[in-house]
Amino acid sequence: MNLWLLQVRYWITFNEPWVITHMSYGVGFMAPGLQDPGQGGYITGHVLLKAHAEAYYIYDEEFRETQNGIYEATGVYGNINQ
C-alpha cells in the first residue's frame, strides 16, 4: 500500500455534482453541453449517486479499517431553488 493512502483522511467522489447534472446535462451550459432539462439532470444524478455508493462501499469494505477516513460527496443538493 502507498504510504500517502494512510495520510489521506477525507475522500470525495464528486465535487459539486449539481454542476455535472444540471449545468452539463440539463441546461447544457457546460461540457458536454447536452440540453435535456426534462430528464438529463435526473438520469445523470442517478448514475452519479450509484457511482458514489459503489465507491463508498469499496472504501468501507477494503480501506476504512486501516485508514479510518471520512468519505462523502460534496454539494450533493446544490442550489435547489433553480
Q: What beta strand segments (E) does 8-51 contain?
A: 10-15
Q: Shortest CA distance to 5 belongs to which of 78, 68, 48, 52?
A: 68
At 26-37, the pLDDT tens digits run 899 998 999 998
Predicted TM-score (pTM) above 0.75: no
Integer distance in angstroms from the first to the last C-alpha of the chain? Answer: 44
Torsion of CA 51, 58, 7, 14, to 10 degrees: 10
CA distances from 30 to 22, 39, 65 (A): 9, 16, 38
Q: Name the pLDDT band for 16 (thresholds 50, 70, 90).
A: confident
